Structure 1
Amino acid sequence: MTEAKPPTISGVPDQKTKTCDQVGFYRRQIEGPNLHHRALLDTLVLTEKGACFQLLEPDTQTRLLLTVSPYKNGAVRILIDELQPIKERFRVPDVVTGERQCEQLRVERQDEDSVTLTWSSGCHLVRVWHFPFSLEILCGEEEVVTFNSKDKLWFETLQDPSRQTSCSSELEEDQAGSLWKETFGQFVDIKANGPTSIGADLSLHGFSHAYGLPEHADSLKLRDTREGEPYRLFNLDVFAYELYSRFGLYGSVPLLVAHKPDRTLGVFWLNASETFVKIHYTTDHQDGQTPPVKMRRIQPQTDVHWLSESGVIDCMVLLGPSPQQLFSQYAQMTGYQALPPLFSLGYHQCRWNYEDEADVRAVDAGFEHHNIPYDMIWLDIEHTDGKRYFTWDPVRFPDPAGLQHHLQQKNRKLVVISDPHIKVDPDWSLYCEARDGGHFVKDREGQIYEGSCWSGDSCYLDFSSPATRAWYARCFALDKYKGSTPSLFVWNDMNEPSVFSGPEQTMPKDAVHSGGWEHRELHNLYGFQQHMATVDGLISRSGGSERPFVLSRSFFAGSQRFGAIWTGDNVASWEYLNISIPMLLSLSVAGIMFCGADVGGFVQDPQPELLVRWYQAASLQPFFRGHSANVTKRREPWLFGEEVTAAIRTAIQQRYCLLHYWYTLFHQAHTSGLPPLRPLWVEFPKEASNFAVDNQYMIGGALLACPITEPGVQEVNVLFPGSGEDEIWYDVHSAKAYKGGRTLSLPVTLDTVPVFQRGGSVVCRSAGCGSCTAELQQLPLCLTVALNSCGVAEGELYLDDGHSFSYRDTKAFCLRRFNMLSGRLLCRRASEEGVFECDSVIQSVTVMGVKSKPAAVIVCVSDTTDVSAEFQYTEDCSIVTVTNLNLRVLMDWEIEIV
């Protein structure tokens, strides 16, 4: 969180942050000439890792090295570096996981103008053109992507700092900044290596919809940037951030996803320095003019221009072609979503700050008294001894272990904050240990960098150093972190990093990290690497047996491997509730799947209706936490009257009833890369009318959610995707059926949460909700079978112990599949792997879409005698409900509706 102050929500950016025109490297690239590089085709060398060419910029005679590597998973990597740099340029570590398997390239055609390369798998080709240099990726004869189609390739080579003395007049600082020194307000950025920016453009042929590039408070579909600012990827602490803005927020994922009816494509720009992205859509007509009737139709195209301050050009094109294949390709590149412990999918209660141990116990008791389930309660910075992390305030929290044991007896957990800034205090052993161990970032003069944050004068841990990360991880050991227990979990905040006294409230770019790398090179990695170290610490704390839970505010590509993130310091307003949906969808598309927004808004006080609607919306999103600033009124769910309490209770209870479905979706994310939260186009890729929809979404493949995000609503418009002849949607509360391919206005009340189950799906719920996830695991299960127009449905259920790594280490899990066809529902193994003993039973089955009353319902368990089952038929909504089943999930069985 950031110090609370009244938010400004306007079209004018806060002058604490830069506009693109105030950034030197951006101006140079936009205002500079096209450099007309040539590909020297006679320098082609084929290796096990791809094809290498030299590129020549004729005016300066600068030579670059281009490497093209096709991967077996359907991706093509384009890497450009200096041919002979005076020293190594920064390449992003820790993000790309494992070694990729490269395809063996061969030359298919070559002449003086171009070289065409092919490989064994798939139908793709790469064609490299001599002049002007461009690189095409083709599918058969169809051009899919062109790299450098607009001739925007830009590469500023490293220079010897002594050069600046010989041309001081050119390099003197002016109003707009300079090559070796740049100013912003009172801050001066000295560039040790001079200008080192890079840039390139790609044309995505046939595409007119692009997504991703989080984090921005903007629509799901990325906007054309010809007017206004480009999208900025630069992690910043932005309190009460501006809405519908392209300015950078807390995290950055340089992944753009484009979609059209027959292909989904991704462009992953692996660069951790400040980055701008310009997007230009070309449609059937341009500049608002309608073309003459006989004019040739212009193919849609999306042009993407990436501009980064430093590093190398490392661009991966993910070729799909389906959304599912694209998500898998990206997960194989940067890692799969971590399988969260089940308790972390429950409800979290947080405030800056619960005052003391008595306050925490009282809030915990309040949830019990009001019959509202929850799993984790959180403590902000005031729980520490003078803002020293890994400590406890001796007056407010004299017995932290006792508090944790009190919560753990009820199977609940405590979460505490741990920020990256360390209070300058020579009498504090942890500060001295970090200082003496060389674990702090240094300034450009080689001294320990000091800035200010919550602790006052602070030093910042250098998480780019593996040694520092290992030291930090050890700080979470139970014998070192006094007062901690195995039921204590962690929240990484302020890790952009936030520096109250720094330029744009972050660390100066000329600060120096391990290995001599400037902060400018790796700024967007800082929070990612703290998140990594914290997760390692919690895993080590348990001897490698228990899954961690760590929430981080700052993130980068690959952060999905570590845990959860949230959208930061939002505001208690309907506009912020509304924008939270496209923000979370954008994160999900970019691989950051365990995401959520602070329920009720972090700052300001929500009206009761807004609070209810926010709980209802957030209960249908992956990370579910109520959180508020210390200047707001208390807002525990029972403080607004019984009507509000009842509505919030219902929303949270329904979340718990659905947790087995959420957990199964996270298993899918963990194994296939498919996000639990999905834009409509992921499930309905051919329906162009859905491509820009971002006020409703799919939860997995089975549930359509349409949260209400406006006040006083009595009717809501719901778009039911799919063909009207084939697609059926069932209201999860009334079971009323709706045909797809239409938008309907449906009545709602304050208690209404519009959710619909897709025909053809099976969803597993709990028969009750319990007081936390531990109780939930002991409850029987219910299946809801929603028949499609052919009378068919299918679904899965994933089970394990919910907290350990046994599912991975000893295959202690089970994955069951439910299939309904021709009136018979079968329960079978969905995977040959996995052995997990549990007593979970299916208590009841509800089948929606049964046109007439059955004569009987017959149950067969393995080889036992068939048994008639009790059932009810509700004619007005065509439902069969089979009760008192007590069928073990782990056994094969079938139910036949006769």
Structure 2
Amino acid sequence: MKVQGIILSAAVLLLLHPVSAVKSGDFKTCSQSGFCRRGRAIAARARDATASWKSPYSVDASSVSVSSEEALITAKVQSSLYPDVDFRLEMHVEDDGVVRVRMDEVSGLRKRYDEAADWALVKEPTISSDIRWTAGKKAVSAAYGAGVEVVLEYEPLRVVVRRHGKEQVVINGRGLLHMEHFRTKETPVANEEGLDEQDVMTSLKANAWFEGEDQDAYWEESFSKWTDSKPKGPESLSVDIDFPNHGHVYGIPEHATSLSLPTTTGDDPFFTEPYRLYNLDVFEYIASSPMSLYGAIPLMHAHSAESTVGVFHVVGSETWIDVAHPSPMSSQTHWISESGILDLFILPGPSPDDVFAQYARLTGTAALPAHWALGYHQCRWNYVSSDDVRGVQKQFDEADMPVDVFWLDIEYAEEHKYMIWDQKTFPDPINMTNDVAAFGRKMVAIVDPHLKRAEDYPVYSAARDKGLLIKQSNGEDDFEGWCWSGSSAWVDFFNPDGIEFWAKLFDPRPGKEWSWTQSTEDIYIWNDMNEPSIFNGPEITLQKDAIHYGGWEHRDVHNINGMPLVSAATSTGLIQRGDVRKRPFVLTRSFFAGTQRYGAMWTGDNLGTWEHMAVGIKMVLSSNIAGMVFAGSDVGGFFGNPDAEMLVRWYHVGIFSPFLRAHAHIDTKRREPYLLTEPYKSYVRNILRLRYSMLPVWYTAFRENSETGRPVVRPHYAVFPQDLNGFAIDDQFFLGSSGLLVKPVTRPGVTEETVYIPEDEVYYEYFSHQTYHGSAEGKNVTVPAPLDRVPLLVRGGSIVPTRERPRRSSSLMAQDPFTLRVALSKSGAAKGELYLDDGVTFAHRDGALVWREFIAAKTSKTTTIKSRDLAVEKPFAADLAIYDPANAFSQSIKNVRVEKVIVLGLSGKPSSVMLTGGGELVWEFEEGAGSAGKEERASVLTIKDPKVGIAQDWEVKITL
């Protein structure tokens, strides 16, 4: 590419964006961030003052008002630091028991950013009309639900949520709440005229006990070679949120660390910094650190054996969070944000499932993805030509390995002008895409948000001419920075016209304005670098004083920036581009609360190391409990050249991640799985086939998430919330409600693995049918883990539907038969679900679907297995008014049958296996094996071709 007369190669750009271990000096610590320093200093002064410390914030009791229509509390909040500054608080309880607390500065010199909730929330929550507030001299309170009480205490201001009298969440219990009010640079004390210098200094000294004696980075601050101007002055927000009876806290992704968040105020040398939420391009990130990464979801769960609660603080600015565990049964947190208002949702639980549902009602659930998107995605930086893409596809087919999607990184685009093909290397993009689509496959092309500043690039020139670009701090000139395109500009996606402009770009049909006509509906989009990443910016991102639509500074909206690009713009464009609306697929690196409604995410530029393989599992679990369920890590690691053992193990990790993609850096060796030598090549082929056989399980788990908010992959505390032994487990997990328990191997040289069973139930090894028995206290068992096998157990009481026919891609499986694995519990029962639709369109919202429940029940010597229509009783879409069992989709698969039923754990050999309304079925039985005191192999009954349709009601009776 040409920039200022110089041809910039990828090598030169890599100098701007160096590929090496993360340089900590490129990114701020709390001590280098003025508002974080100030917030932590308040906490330090509070600790030093101990019992004498008191919050300066209180509620004016005479101002408390309760709306008779909405049960909304409003009140004036006073600060003894600045009594003339007006703060207002609103508090209400929503229909599902969630408590919302909002506090803002009103009638000040300026307005604080208060639009973060507009992006995060799926809709404005409904205030409960059943709540009755009781106002007293010292507090106002309300009791509701199963023993829940919420209290607003006046002096000092404190919000407490209790359940059965026990404190669950306490806001400002340690007196760290501070909303820095707007002021002028010349007069540090707002709204006080005519003060001489001595008066000002006296006022500052009087408030030094809380705010400190210095105006620390109030109006500008420097980091490295950059200076951040702060024309609005200090506006940070600090608040302590404590969980007095919960010893574990989870969430606030994205961080590379354990699921149960370690303390940041203790002696661990790797966790002396607060957890930072500030979306950044951190290549080769550290595998155990509180450093900020690419996404930010300000949601935290707190958990104990008695209850689970959550807090969701809707703020889009940079935020630091200190975590402490003063005792094994309590947790304290301190949230420090650069700007915005206090907009806090308290999720009262009391179970993990309740918290998932409460958060989902606020921010929505993941959109049900296209079925093909759950298959295997093959990517690298870069497939260099259309012939290269065809060659990769050919070699996958020759190796008999399934794959659904091929990806193109930045080199497909001429001079990195996205959506403009390089005609030298990709002369026939439509034919290339059609060649891929002929095998039922799709393509994904990267479209980064930076636009090359070139007159011959119509995307840039049109956005500039329409005034849709982010502005410099003066609010007039377009911002210019450096990224892969060289000198670049950025569309302002907070501008509604910017969203509409971007969405129209993806329509391949010719129109009045430029659009990507050299594409097809089989090309989907990867939005990378959308933190935004700017190579010559502070911390490799955009200056905070840049200006967005509405006059807001970038500091106010930084963590939200990737969301309107993915959600409102790219996703909308993909849906609207065809005559028949199809589900979009958009991968994003940057994300915020609510992004789950529109796309998938991955954990960024990881390394090909065992440590990064292991932490990727924890990061995916953390994202899942925070609603961002369509998540995964790059298989093999983005950087490095993993050996064959590591690569095989990483594919095991990958197939049990909701999003499955292999990716590699431009400097790595080619490592497509067909290049492996034997036996590793066959290992990976079988691993991928295992993923494809379980696509019905994955799709059903996504359906459940879309309705309930429950994660697609679930940590132990979410499934067994009262099991103390499981609260910190994050290296094994459950796949939806399927009963599948997996523990990927993430260490070299391992041939067996320890798996924790949390209950007194039988678990079956998926491949060998070996049985493992837990106990009421929990039990560790040793499971074989040769390189060709992942430790995978089926929980007794589960029925797992799979499709066992090997195919090239998932779309070719649409008419394939099913196998049902019936893993009987100790009591001889089991159940499972299967959800199906066309996997492409939105017809399921109109009832074009199949949703079955399979039930096994035991009575005396008879075990009955039956299938029933769940959709008749539970229409899964909220807007699904009418469901017809004979809907168009159901009719399209009326010939799809159950080809095999495998029953594990029968107590003896059957005397007959009958189809109700039919005759004796063909079956085989294998006795269980084992000896006293040793684990056994379960008995296996295999029913061959029971001659029933997957979409039909049927019943099979097994008589011993």
* TM surpasses 0.5: yes
Any residues of structure 2 matched to 1:529-548 within 5 Å, and which? 529-532=564-567, 533-543=569-579, 545-548=581-584
CA shift at 1:763, angstroms? 0.5
Residue 201 of structure 1, CA deviation: 1.0
Judge conservation of contact 1:496–1:524 (CA < 8 Å) in 2.
yes
Counterpart position of 1:444: 473
* Cross-structure match for 2:41: 31
The alignment's TM-score, normalised by the length of structure 2, stands at 0.88
State whether structure 2 residue 541 is matched by structure 1 residue 506.
Answer: yes
CA separation in 1, counterparts of 2:132 and 2:757?
49
SS in 2 for 1:883: strand
Taking structure 1 as reference, are residues 401 and 163 closer, same or farther at Cα in structure 2, changes over 3 Å only? farther
- Helix, strand or coil at the partner of 2:414: coil
For the pair 1:254 / 2:289, whether they are aligned, the reply is no
Structure 2 unpaired stretches of 5+: 1-9, 46-53, 190-194, 205-212, 267-271, 510-514, 876-882, 930-937
Partners of 2:143 and 2:150 within 8 A in 1: yes
Q: Call closer, same or farther: CA 1:265–1:463 in 2, change over 3 Å.
A: same
Pairing 1:430-829 to 2, within 5 Å after superposition: 430-445=459-474, 446-479=476-509, 480-532=515-567, 533-543=569-579, 545-701=581-737, 702-723=739-760, 727-740=761-774, 741-808=778-845, 810-822=846-858, 823-829=863-869
Relative to 1, partners in 2 of residues 1:713 and 1:175: Cα closer, same or farther, differing over 3 Å?
A: farther
Matching residue's letter, 2:127: C
Give the C-alpha shift of residue 118 in structure 1. Answer: 3.5
Q: Distance in 1 between matches of 2:470 and 2:797?
A: 55
What is the distance in 2 between the residues matched to 1:502 and 1:167?
Answer: 40
In the TM superposition, what whole-angstrom CA distance separates every residue of 1:112-154 from its partner, at most 9, and x where no partner exists? 22222345x4432221222122111122322221111001111
Shift of 1:596: 0.4
1:745-777: CA deviation from partner (whole Å, max 9, x where unpaired): 233221121100000111100021311001122
Residue 657 (structure 1) shift: 0.3
- Work out whether residues 107 and 115 of structure 1, in 8 Å CA contact, stay in contact via their aligned partners in 2: no
Partners of 2:126 and 2:214 lie apart in 1 by: 49
| Aligned length, in residue pairs | 870
Give the superposition deviation at 1:14. Answer: 1.1
Q: Secondary structure at the match of 1:326?
A: helix
| Structure 1 residue 375: Cα displacement | 0.2
- What letter matches 2:590 in structure 1? S
Number of the residue aligned with 1:854 = 910
| Whole-angstrom distance in 2 between the partners of 1:163 and 1:393 | 58
The 3 A distance-change label for structure 1 pair 609 and 214 is same
Query: Which runs of 5 or more structure 1 residues have no equivalent in the other structure?
Result: 285-299
Q: CA–CA distance in 1 between the matches of 2:139 and 2:214?
A: 44
Counterpart among 39, 53, 75 of residue 98 in structure 2 = 75
Give the distance between the partners of 2:18 and 2:235, measured in 1 at CA: 37
| 1:317-359 CA distance string (max 9 Å, x none) | 1111111111111111001111000000000000100010110
**Residue 109 (structure 1) shift:** 4.4
C-alpha separation in 1, matches of 2:335 and 2:552 = 22
1:258: Cα distance to partner?
A: 1.1
Contact residue 98 and residue 346 of structure 2 kept, 8 A:
yes
- Partners in 2 of 1:668 and 1:805 — Cα distance? 17
| Equivalent position of 2:5 in the other structure | none
Q: CA separation in 1, counterparts of 2:18 and 2:186?
A: 46
Aligned residue in 1 for 2:928 = 875
Aligned to 1:891: 952
**Native 8 Å contact 2:172 2:241 kept in 1:** yes
Matched letter for residue 866 of structure 2: L
Q: Deviation at 1:637?
A: 0.7
Residues in 2 aligned to 1:176 and 1:632: alpha-carbon distance in whole angstroms? 49
**1:764-809 per-position Cα deviation (integer Å, ceiling 9, x unaligned):** 000213110011222110000111111110010001001110001x
CA contact (8 A) 1:853 1:875 kept: no
* More off after superposition, 728-737 vs 80-89: 80-89
Distance 1:868 1:454 in 2: 63
Shift of 1:205: 2.5
- Paired with 2:258 and 2:573, the residues of 1 have a C-alpha distance of 36
User: Aligned partners of 1:805 and 1:167: how far apart in 2?
Assistant: 68
Mapping of residues 7-406 of structure 1, within 5 Å: 7-8=20-21, 14-32=24-42, 35-47=55-67, 48=70, 50-61=72-83, 62-91=85-114, 92=116, 93-104=118-129, 109-119=134-144, 121-160=145-184, 163=187, 178-227=217-266, 228-283=272-327, 300-406=329-435
Q: 1:163 to 1:419 in 2, by over 3 A?
A: farther
CA contact (8 A) 1:105 1:117 kept: no
Deviation for aligned residue 1:849: 0.7
1-structure distance, mates of 2:742, 2:35? 43
CA separation in 1, counterparts of 2:313 and 2:608?
Answer: 34
C-alpha distance in structure 2 between counterparts of 1:246 and 1:193, whole Å: 29
State the alpha-carbon separation in 1 of the partners of residues 796 and 696 from structure 2: 19
Q: Greater CA deviation, 56-65 or 508-517?
A: 56-65
TM-score by length of 1: 0.94
Partner residue of 1:295? none
Instruction: Please state how far the C-alpha of 1:30 moved relative to its aligned partner.
Output: 2.0
What RMSD in Å do the two structures reach over aligned CA positions? 2.0
Instruction: Indicate the percent of aligned positions where both proteins have the same amino acid.
Output: 36
Distance in 2 (CA, whole Å) between partners of 1:732 and 1:793 is 16
Question: Aligned letter for 2:74?
Answer: C
Q: For residues 521 and 109 of structure 1, what CA distance do their matches in structure 2 show? A: 36
What is the alpha-carbon distance in structure 1 between the residues aligned to residue 236 and residue 483 of structure 2?
30
- Note closer, same or farther for the CA distance 1:142–1:435 as it changes in structure 2 (3 Å cut): same
Q: Which secondary structure state, in structure 2, belongs to the residue aligned with residue 386 of structure 1?
A: helix
Query: How far 1:107 sits from its partner (Å)?
Result: 5.5
1:502-521 Cα offsets, whole Å, 9 max, x none, are: 00000000000000000000
Aligned mates of 1:575, 1:540 — CA distance in 2: 42
For 1:390 and 1:543, how far apart are their aligned partners in 2? 21
Q: What is the distance in 2 between the residues matched to 1:825 and 1:266?
A: 39
Paired amino acid for 1:766: R
Indicate the SS of the match to 1:884: strand
Q: Distance in 1 between matches of 2:627 and 2:215?
A: 37
Partners of 2:275 and 2:28 in 1: how far apart?
Answer: 13
Q: Structure 1: how far apart are the matches of 2:18 and 2:643? A: 19
Q: Is the 8 A contact 1:51 1:105 kept in 2?
A: no
What are the superposed Cα offsets for residues 158-189 of structure 1, whole Å, 9 maximum, x if unpaired? 23466579999999xx9996201111111111
The alpha-carbon distance between structure 1 residues 638 and 167, as it changes in their structure 2 partners (threshold 3 A), is farther
Q: How far, CA to CA, are the matches of 1:542 and 1:320 in structure 2? A: 42
**Who is 1:290 aligned against?**
none
Distance 1:538 1:895, change over 3 A: same
Distance 2:491 2:801 in 1: 45
Q: Is the contact made by 1:200 and 1:306 (CA closer than 8 Å) also made in structure 2?
A: yes
Change (3 A) 1:163 1:690: same
| Cα distance between partner residues in 1 of 2:768 and 2:743 | 16
Query: Closer, same or farther in 2 for the Cα pair 1:49/1:771, shift >3 Å?
Result: farther
* CA contact 1:391–1:482 (8 Å) conserved in 2: no
